[in-house]
Amino acid sequence: MEEYKCPFSAPLITHQFGCAHAQEVVHRGGTEINCTAAAAQSRCDQLFQHMKLAALPAFGVEDDLLSMPHSVLVKVQYGGLLGLQRLLRAEPQVGERVDDIHALVAEASLRFGDAVPCGSLVDDITAFKPRARRGR
């Protein structure tokens, strides 16, 4: 079986967001999220790449996994999806949860096609504050 890595895995691993196509896979190195639908994964990956390209200049970093802080990618995932939800629902307040990432991305695709206005999500991405880690 072919595995499709989810580009929005950070909020799914923490169980803060949900997705109809998410499949949790536990490997020796930790938990990963795979997508059970190739077309859905492709659409999500394309959106994530556009969000990342729009947001990276605001953080002053380049698209380089060796130099880009992991926290920037997490902010793009969480903040980008929450901003997209705000944009589609026309609500001034950004919620804290996305119940189904697949449904949200599909709705954005229907409304905007390939031209999701990712520039409108940059403020949501940069404003996102990850939850503080609990003590161990």
Q: Classify residue 18: in a domain, yes or no.
A: no
- Whether 34 maps to a domain, the answer reads no
Q: At what angle do helices 38-59 and 70-89 cross, to 10 degrees?
A: 110
pTM: predicted TM-score of the whole model, two decimal places: 0.90
Is residue 32 assigned to a domain?
no
What pLDDT digit, counting tens, does each position of 6-58 carry?
999 999 999 999 999 999 999 888 889 999 999 999 999 999 999 999 999 99
Task: Provide the pLDDT confidence category of residue 3 given band limits of 50, 70 and 90.
Answer: confident
Number of independent structural domains in the chain = 1
Secondary-structure breakdown of the chain: helix, strand, coil percentages, each rounded to the nearest 5: 50, 10, 40
Task: Note down the domain range covering 122.
Answer: 40-127
Instruction: Tell me the average pLDDT across 76-92.
Output: 90
Could you tell me if residue 114 is inside a domain?
Answer: yes
Any domain includes 118: yes
Distances (CA, A) of 68 to 44, 46, 55, 61, 133: 21, 19, 12, 6, 21
